[in-house]
Structure 1
Amino acid sequence: MQEILSRAPGAPAPASDGSWDICGLPTDARIRYNPYSYDPVAGSTVARGGWGVLCEGDHAYGTEAKKSIHPPGWPQVRNSAGDLVWAKNHPYARCHAVGSQLGGSGDLKENLFTCPQAATNNSWMKRVENQKRIKIEESGNAALYFSTPIYLNQSDAKPSAVIMQVYMMNRATAMITPFCSVVIPSRLGRPGDVQNGNKAVTDYVQAKCKA
């Protein structure tokens, strides 16, 4: 990975001792978003998440989701003329695969997927992402991060869950060590069930993802 990223546009030159700081790359060279593609279970085009090398200070480059972007699975209704239009009143949000507080873009559709506001795009989800950001800033190292939506429901382009995997990375050598892996459910339900379920997930992350 170090060899691949060292050839990216804007890559810094190696130091005199041959070491190379991966965080010298701009965020758009370190964070990648997978293109939308067809999923046989969902029966349609779906979001595929993103991955990247995350560094201290990346949160300054993250952006909120553009409201003009409608990810796969975004609700539609028929108007009085019978035409399909984007729904206005619904419980869904535009979730980032790579969170804005991790440097993820809300301007690129590939980084956005449709998720329930209460179940996924809420304070519990942000707490998980903030834990990763704090770990990066406290350690002074980087993190290799993967965010992968999974689809289990027939004919539904909204993810059933999102798998988030993090490996701490030495900035100079690109050597990695596992940090944590967590599955965030992405489903509708009663507010109490959703909140308690996500709190359990967050508690699991805090217990299992400490270095």
Structure 2
Amino acid sequence: MIRVGICRCAWGKTFPGNGDGGGSVRYGDLDPLGRTTGIEATITEDMIGTGTAPKRSIYPPGFEGGWKGGPGHARGHLLGKQLGGRGDDPRNLVTIYQNGPNSPVMRDFENIIRSAVESGEIVTYKSTPIYSGNNPVPIGITMEAAGTGGFSLNVSI
């Protein structure tokens, strides 16, 4: 794996999970180019399925649309919707190609994390976009997760 321009996160406000099961999310601040820098979360079962779809009025840097004949971009969640990720916060949305990277690849890894949480694990999760220089669109996203029952995931897509 080649890592290029890993972004350092300047962590913003911590948000409680959507329920009262102890989960939380920290969204990194946007960098000077307006790009997302990453998220850290403690994912608990009460957060599962509580996320929101990406808000259509949010245009992450480099987003040129996903319409037919367009570049095939998506507003990708760093903390997936199925894991409680917000679609109304620009710090959680990054430009990603829909076919392939977003779905099925990132979605499938998020579903593996969801399964670990639904089986009783509390999962610490970190998702970090990888940028090349000033490119507004990440060349990859690193997903790291560790559960209280031994679950572990570390991939870059």
TM range (shorter): 0.7 to 0.9
Unpaired runs of 5+ residues, structure 2, are: 1-13
Give the TM-score, by structure 2 length. Answer: 0.78
Which residue of the other structure, out of 21, 29, 40, is the alignment partner of 1:35? 29
2:114 and 2:148 mapped to 1: Cα distance?
Answer: 13
Which ranges of 4 or more aligned residues in structure 1 deviate by more than 6 Å? none
- The 1:9/1:128 distance shift into structure 2, 3 A limit, reads closer
Q: Which residue of 2 aligns with 1:149?
A: 129
Shift of 1:121: 1.4
Q: Which residue of 2 aligns with 1:24?
A: 21
Q: Is the 8 A contact 2:21 2:46 kept in 1?
A: no
Amino acid at match of 1:144: T
Deviations 1:75-134 (A, max 9, x none): 3xxxxxxxxxx8963311100000001111001111000011113211222111000100
Amino acid at match of 2:152: F
Fraction of identical pairs, as percent: 32
Q: Which residue of 2 aligns with 1:166?
A: 145
Asked if 1:180 corresponds to 2:153, the answer is: yes
Q: Which residue of 2 aligns with 1:4?
A: none
Report matched runs for 1:29-178 at 5 Å.
30-38=24-32, 44-75=33-64, 89-138=70-119, 140-152=120-132, 154-169=133-148
Q: Is the 8 A contact 1:92 1:115 kept in 2?
A: yes
Greater radius of gyration (CA): 1
The alignment yields a C-alpha RMSD, in angstroms, of 2.4
1:124 and 1:49 mapped to 2: Cα distance?
Answer: 18
1:92 and 1:9 mapped to 2: Cα distance?
Answer: 28
Aligned length, in residue pairs? 139
Residue 148 of structure 1 aligns to a residue in which SS?
A: strand
Give the TM-score, by structure 1 length. Answer: 0.60
Deviations 1:31-64 (A, max 9, x none): 11111113xxxxx331112111001131231111
Q: Is the 8 A contact 1:115 1:159 kept in 2?
A: yes
Amino acid at match of 2:57: S
Unpaired runs of 5+ residues, structure 1, are: 1-7, 11-22, 39-43, 76-85, 171-176, 185-211
**Structure (1 or 2) with the greater strand fraction:** 2
Q: Which residue of 2 aligns with 1:202?
A: none
Q: Is the 8 A contact 2:79 2:92 kept in 1?
A: yes
2:118 and 2:77 mapped to 1: Cα distance?
Answer: 21
**Structure (1 or 2) with the greater helix fraction:** 1
Residue 57 of structure 1 aligns to a residue in which SS?
A: helix
Q: Is the 8 A contact 1:57 1:137 kept in 2?
A: no
